[in-house]
A and B are shown apart, each in its own frame.
Chain A
């Protein structure tokens, strides 16, 4: 900084180095002192002269500067945050994609596994009706039960993955709670009896609104657990009318659940205590499924328990606000596990309406067709099974079908089972239709119900199929 460049010095004149120079230097010295003094004063008092106008200005500038810096810092932080956010979004999208592909994979696997399993079950059931030596009969029984267990395990895994993936949707409708509980009581009465327990059932006349199949799954899981973990005593199934809904309860006189485990048992693969090994075929997913279904239905589950005395699980469902629809899907939605083996092979109905009943089966899977023919044939039905309607009609010699069993998915470019059934119903008035699907989505169930048809989920349970066929055949005859 050339502070005094404006001061004129006659430096060119060589002869003026003496007196003039000395005077100029003295003057410069004076001014430098003055400048120094001013600067010292400024430095020493500058920041403390609070009331001075210039100090106020300087403070405002510095304050504005600080605000600017802080704003910049804020903007930088916001930028960083938005970048982190973007990365999180990407990670989330990736995770969702992975989850979706897992779900698709599981759905594909389950479909591919369940299909042959379904056929194997049908064959095993058909085989049981044959006259076999006692030893062979027992072996066939074992095969049937083992297949059923495999089916149950796969079903559970599929269910939990579907619940996790959010592809399962509730299909809520009003129904009388007894139609559900009566069936479950009957079923578990047998199971409890086998374990030396008493099932005490208190019926209720309440009408509730829920997804019947999902609610059945919840209560069945409660009952299975109660039976599984209770060594002696009794199991209670009943309801309590609450202001906010009907509380459906399952109690037992088992070991109870210690306080510290009451949350953990609703997690996957957890059990309270080591169960009796003879009855431990589950994966520890039962209550995890209950928890997810409860969340999905928005119908709360609660647990009270006194260790050593017993446990009481319950779910509270709202009372129905609408009337019960005319087409009842109760029987179809009630998969029966326990009574099946006990009854299968016997002849529970004296006048069997199935005898001679003409049943058409349309499925694009040859193994299913053969399995159905074997099973339905063993029940005395006249079975016509084929992959297409034309093949079926060609084989039927103009015979009028009474009941149609049709697969929902008939291949990529073909109509759905519902569409095909509607077509055939127009051609054969009075034809009763049962649509079979491995797809557990609520929409198909609803569509079937709305079309006035029945819906059965794969894998087919022979007894359930038989009950449904019996009902359908009976209603046709009367």
Chain B
């Protein structure tokens, strides 16, 4: 074990080894030091999760860990798959507390308020930094739970002025099981709230590269529980969407969903509602809540890399060179980059700005469940006279 300069505050590491034991050992070797206070990780759903859980617990012994499964990882070297990436937080600069929400269906304000209060109290006790203006919440949700909206709205009400962001766990596009991890176990149909209280300056951000077209589609029949749109404009949804994008209904794929998103407009802003898949009955399943009577606007991408560059430059101008950025990057963005052959360039950009994170099945920003965005938190460096 070793000490290391406090001004860095965080260390990042990744392992491509598919064996859980080896991967956990590699991460521990890179991250452990005397002041390691917390580890956040994002892992491929391909890992033997039970083996990974016990390997991580034994490697990091008393250090608490949280994380989730992904639809792709962002490692210190850029985009990756089948790997695990982790961030180690220095306990001298960070007070981090976590809570598990394992009953997403019955999570209401009466549960949320004590949960938030208790997290803040535990952070306060560590006396790392004042709570006010020095706190944010990171949420990791089961991406297939269909409960994101309610849980987030409730949690956001309890968080009040504390900013929040997060991502929905993925499973490499299998759309079967996504997991969140805390206190030694992986959970499904659950959420992890990570309260981060830090001396480092930080900024929670969200960006996307999509602009509205003029076409409008009205949802005329929907199954809100299943997040399914059955009809658009009075016709089978898949047929109308396929016609909109100029392809046959049976040719629709994630790559097309990524290039031709739909969005709802609320208060002058457009929020993308991403399509998950086409069902056999020509209905469309979404990654987020839908409702009968909502109006969907056809969207069109602008160059993704330009938007990413601008966003990273903006963050840099406000915070200085980031010590780390934790990014929740919609997996549809990655599909688009792959379709355009821009993955390498994007990886370089992410690497230069010290971004680590994962590809999500949906992002969370200030209590909103959003799609097809790049949402996260950027940490600056500790002012020199503060060390």
**A residues engaging B (CB < 8 A)?**
1-6, 30-35, 37-43, 46, 49, 51-65, 67
Contact = CB atoms under 8 A, between A and B. Distances in A.
B177 interface: no
Interface stretch (B47-55, B130-138, B147-155): B147-155
B216 A1 contact: yes
B224 interface: yes
Contacts of B293: 38-43, 46
27 contacts: A1-B216, A2-B214, A3-B216, A4-B233, A6-B244, A31-B235, A34-B234, A38-B221, A43-B293, A46-B293, A53-B148, A53-B227, A53-B289, A54-B149, A54-B290, A54-B291, A56-B149, A60-B367, A60-B369, A61-B267, A61-B269, A62-B267, A63-B156, A63-B367, A64-B365, A64-B367, A65-B267
Contacts of B267: 61-62, 65
A56 B149 CA distance: 6
Given A30-B234, A60-B369, A62-B266, 16 more contacts: A1-B214, A6-B244, A32-B234, A41-B293, A42-B292, A52-B291, A53-B146, A54-B290, A55-B291, A58-B266, A60-B156, A61-B271, A63-B367, A64-B366, A64-B368, A65-B266
Contacts of B146: 53
B243 interface: yes
Interface of B: 146-150, 152-153, 156, 214-216, 218-221, 224, 227, 231, 233-235, 240, 243-244, 266-267, 269, 271, 288-295, 365-369
A21 to B, nearest CB: 18
Contacts of B271: 57, 61
B288 A57 contact: yes
Name the prevailing secondary structure of the A interface residues. helix
Contacts of A51: 150
A61 B368 contact: yes
B89 to A, nearest CB: 27
* B contact patch SS: mixed
A414 B387 CA distance: 54
B218 A38 contact: yes
B233 A3 contact: yes
B220 A35 contact: yes
Contacts, number: 108
B150 A56 contact: yes
B291 A46 contact: yes
A33 B219 CA distance: 13
B216 to A, nearest CB: 5
B368 A57 contact: yes
Contacts of B369: 57, 60
Query: By CB atoms of chain B within 10 A, which of A40, A49, A58 has the most?
Result: A58
Contacts of B149: 53-54, 56-57, 60
A6 to B, nearest CB: 4
Please give me the 9 A-B residue pairs with the lowest Cβ-Cβ distance, nearest first: A42-B293, A31-B234, A53-B289, A54-B291, A34-B234, A54-B289, A56-B153, A60-B367, A56-B149
B68 to A, nearest CB: 21
A58 B243 CA distance: 28
B231 A34 contact: yes
A224 B215 CA distance: 95
Name, among A2, A6, A37, A46, the residue most crowded by chain B CB atoms within 10 Å (CB to CB). Answer: A6
Contacts of B292: 38, 41-42
Contacts of A54: 149, 224, 289-291, 294
Contacts of A33: 234
B240 A34 contact: no
A29 to B, nearest CB: 10
Given A3-B218, A31-B234, A35-B220, A61 B266 contact: yes
Given A6-B240, A6-B243, A38-B220, A60 B289 contact: no
Contacts of B147: 53
A53 B290 CA distance: 8
Contacts of B148: 53
A53 B224 contact: yes
A39 B295 CA distance: 9
A252 to B, nearest CB: 59
A38 B219 contact: yes
Contact of A56 (B221, B234, B289, B295): B289
A67 B267 CA distance: 13
Contact of A52 (B218, B224, B240, B288): B224
B271 to A, nearest CB: 6
B231 to A, nearest CB: 7
